[in-house]
Amino acid sequence: MAKRKVILTIFRQNHLRPDWKVRLSGKAFEAFRAQLSEELAPFGVEFAVVRNNDVTIDVKSYGDLLNAVRVSSPADGCSNRCVGHIIGKSGKLDLLEDIKAAVSRIAFAPETVPPDDFVPRVCHNCGCGC
């Protein structure tokens, strides 16, 4: 089975409010990354996490936090989509759960993600600009 690659890109974050600060590094995040990688591997999906410190997102809300985390799958034509654009409204405001949902959607149903130029009637207000 050919491997497809799904990449999670985490932008540098400037937290303007402490209540929306979520650690995306350290032991807990590494365990999350390893578990998600392990879950995707049997389906031929390679999962990688990269950091982009050239872009800084000011985080004032959960929507900004979703905008600071992007998912790509070059083989599927999905490039650099923010988690909010992929999942829509977050159910529980749980960033790791939302990341997993976005990565899974890109890995298994990329055709269900609206294209970059899609303008929804009601924006999910993640800060992606749609």
* Series of mean pLDDT values for 10-residue runs along the chain (130 residues): 86 91 93 97 96 95 93 88 89 94 94 69 53
What does the pLDDT read at residue 78?
Answer: 84
In a domain, 123, yes or no: no
Total of domains in the chain: 1
In a domain, 122, yes or no: no
What does the pLDDT read at residue 120?
Answer: 54
What does the pLDDT read at residue 17?
Answer: 87
Q: Which domain does 58 fall in, by range?
A: 4-112
In a domain, 124, yes or no: no
In a domain, 102, yes or no: yes
Beta bridge partners of 10: 51, 69
The two three-digit tokens of residue 124, written as one number: 């999910």
What does the pLDDT read at residue 124?
Answer: 53
